[in-house]
Amino acid sequence: MSSMHQPYGNGLPSDNPANEPILHSIDFEDVDLSPTGLQILQIGGQAAIRHHMPMMNTDNLTPHQVMLMFIDKVFWEEHSGGLIMCSDMVQSSLCLPIPKGHWNVRMDGKTVQ
Going residue by residue through the chain, which has 113 residues, state the pLDDT in tens, using 9 for 90 and above.
Answer: 444 444 455 444 456 566 788 999 999 999 999 999 999 999 988 888 888 888 888 888 888 888 888 999 999 999 999 999 998 878 888 899 999 999 999 877 666 65
Sheet containing strand 103-107, edge to edge, reads: 31-33, 103-107, 110-112
Considering the domain boundaries, does residue 111 fall inside one?
no
Provide the domain count of the chain: 1
CA-atom Rg of the chain in angstroms: 15
Residue 69 CB partners (closer than 8 Å, separation 6+): 45, 49, 87
Please give the Cα distance from 73 to 13 (Å, whole number).
Answer: 22
Please give the Cα distance from 82 to 98 (Å, whole number).
Answer: 6
Considering the domain boundaries, does residue 112 fall inside one?
no
Considering the domain boundaries, does residue 8 fall inside one?
no
pTM: 0.75
Considering the domain boundaries, does residue 63 fall inside one?
yes
Q: Domain containing 44: what range?
A: 24-105
Segment holding 47, helix H or strand E: helix 35-52
